[in-house]
Amino acid sequence: MQIEIDGLTKAYDGTQALAPAQLTVPSGVLMALLGPSGSGKTTLLRLIAGLETPSAGRLFFDGAEATGLSVQARRSGFVFQNYALFRHMNVARNVGYGLAARPRRDRPSRAEIAARVDSLLTLVRLDGFAERFPDQLSGGQRQRVAFARALAIEPRLLLLDEPFGALDAAVRRELRTGLRRIHDETGLTTIFVTHDQQEAMEVADQVAVMSTGRIEQVGRPEDLRNHPRTPFVRSFLAAG
C-alpha cells in the first residue's frame, strides 16, 4: 500500500512538533525515519497510525484519503518505543490478541487463530515458544513477539518506533536482519523510526532524515551519503 503525506502538521499548544510534511512511501518500501531526539519522528509515525490528530494536512492510503479514519480502520500493525507485552498472557495469546479481541462477527475461529499464531511464530523464528510468558524471554525474543503481534491482524502497513531501542548491539544487528527478512517475506509497506544512522542505512530502502520537525531529505542510503542536500544532513551523516 502506498502512503502519501500531504502537508501533515502537528502543533502542541505553541510548539510545532511537525512542520508541514510532504512524503510518499511507495508500496512495499521499507522506509526509515532518521533524526535526533525531538526531531518529530514519533509524531509523524503516530499521525500515520491515527493515534494523533493532525493540526493540518492530509494523508492518503493508495490514493484514498485516510486523514479521518479511525486507528482500527487504518489497519496498521505497530510496535512502539516502549512496547509492552501482556505479562499475564503467554506468547501465543499475546500474538493472537488482536484477532481474539475482535467483535464476534469478525473474529476468526479458535483454530484459525491458533494456525495464524503458529505461522507468525515461525516467521519470527520463535517456534516452540508459544507457552512461555514474557518474563521467560530475552529482550530480543520479546521484541520478536511484539512484531508477530503487530503482524497478526494482517495489517495494511507496518509502523515501528525504535523497535530495537533498548537492546544491546548484537541483538540489534540480529533483529535488523530479521526485520529486513520479514519485510521481504510479507511485502508490507513499512516505516521504522530510528536515531541510529547505521541501522537506517543498512536496513532501509529509503531514508527520510528529520531535524526539528522537518523532513530535510528523502532518498536511498547511497544518495544521502553521496548527495546530502542540506548542511544538517551533511553534518548529521558525517557525525554518524
Binding mask 2-21 for ligand ATP (x = CB under 6 A): ----------x--x-x----
Binder to Mg ion among 42, 189, 197, 211 (CB under 5 A)? 42
Q: DSSP letters of 1-59?
A: --EEEEEEEEEETTEEEEEEEEEEE-TT-EEEEE--TTSSHHHHHHHHHTSS--SEEEE
| 163 lines the binding site for ligand ATP (CB under 6 A) | no
- Check binding of 39 to Mg ion (CB under 5 A): no
Instruction: Quote the least distance from Cβ 236 to Mg ion, whole Å.
Output: 16
What cell was used for 172? 540489534
Q: Which 193-212 positions form the footprint of ligand ATP (CB under 6 A)?
A: 195
In angstroms, rounded to a whole number, what is the distance separating the alpha carbons of residues 44 and 210?
10
- Looking only at the bridges linking them, the beta strands covering 30-34 and 206-211 are parallel
37 binds ligand ATP (CB under 6 A): yes
Which residue, among 147, 181, 143, 146, has the nearest Cα to 164 in the 3D structure?
143
Task: Check binding of 43 to Mg ion (CB under 5 A).
Answer: no
Binding site for Mg ion (CB under 5 A): 42
Binding site for ligand ATP (CB under 6 A): 12, 15, 17, 35, 37-43, 195
